[in-house]
């Protein structure tokens, strides 16, 4: 019989998509109120991989990632996704020229994987509860993140992979500091 052990804490991040880069600041402030200080941000990256979001979000969509200083238990990702969906709904009720001004994609980095939360089921996703699924989007092997067959095209790009590699290094430093009690 295997011995049940607690999971290691993981590093929460949120990917933000919007037609309006100015929204990133107000969304980031709201996320910080909920999850604590941001400790790493990506550059703003053009999102030109699909026109899937164009009807709801407009053209010239941009992506920005933020990560949070405090580590979380991996089981919290489902309620976090529920929270970010509510945030999206709140922003959609404001007066913007598009029906979906912001898209929020929470996930986490562990030592060996990048996990995304989703409301959509698929063969490679595991149901977590509250209508939320999780997928391993990339695995860390041989010193780099390696996409999987279902990894979204944008999550395969150099910009994204560099950000997630930096985030993984930061995460491992946090684990070391926790282990020595600093």
Beta-bridged to residue 64, according to DSSP, are: 16
Class of residue 147 by CB neighbours under 10 A (exposed 0-12, middle 13-18, buried 19+): middle
pLDDT > 70: percent of the chain: 99
What is residue 182's predicted lDDT score, i.e. its pLDDT? 58
pTM of the entire structure?
A: 0.95
Q: How does residue 119 score in pLDDT terms, banded at 50, 70 and 90? A: very high
Q: Which residue has the tokens 């996703």?
A: 125
pLDDT in tens, 87-106: 999 999 999 999 999 999 99
Give yes or no for residue 166 having a pLDDT over 90. yes
Nearest to 117, CA basis, from 106, 126, 127, 129? 106
Give yes or no for residue 51 having a pLDDT over 90. no
Do the beta carbons of residue 115 and residue 124 sit within 8 Å?
Answer: no
pLDDT in tens, 129-158: 999 999 999 999 999 999 999 999 999 999
């Amino acid at each position: 019989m295997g011995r049940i052990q607690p999971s290691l804490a993981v590093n929460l991040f949120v990917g933000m998509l919007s037609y309006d880069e100015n929204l990133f600041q107000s969304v980031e402030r709201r996320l910080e109120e909920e999850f604590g200080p941001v400790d790493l941000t990506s550059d703003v990256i053009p999102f030109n991989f699909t026109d899937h979001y164009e009807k709801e979000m407009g053209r010239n969509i941009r992506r920005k990632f933020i990560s949070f200083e405090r580590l979380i238990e991996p089981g919290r990702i489902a309620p976090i996704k529920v929270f970010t969906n509510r945030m999206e709904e709140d922003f959609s009720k404001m007066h913007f020229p598009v029906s979906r001004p912001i898209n929020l994609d929470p996930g986490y980095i562990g030592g060996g994987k990048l996990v995304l939360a989703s409301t959509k089921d698929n063969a490679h996703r595991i149901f977590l509860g509250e209508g939320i699924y999780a997928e391993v989007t990339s695995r860390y092997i041989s010193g780099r993140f390696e996409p999987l067959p279902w990894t979204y095209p944008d999550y395969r790009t150099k910009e994204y992979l560099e950000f997630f590699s930096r985030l993984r290094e930061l995460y491992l430093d946090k684990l070391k500091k926790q282990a020595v009690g600093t």
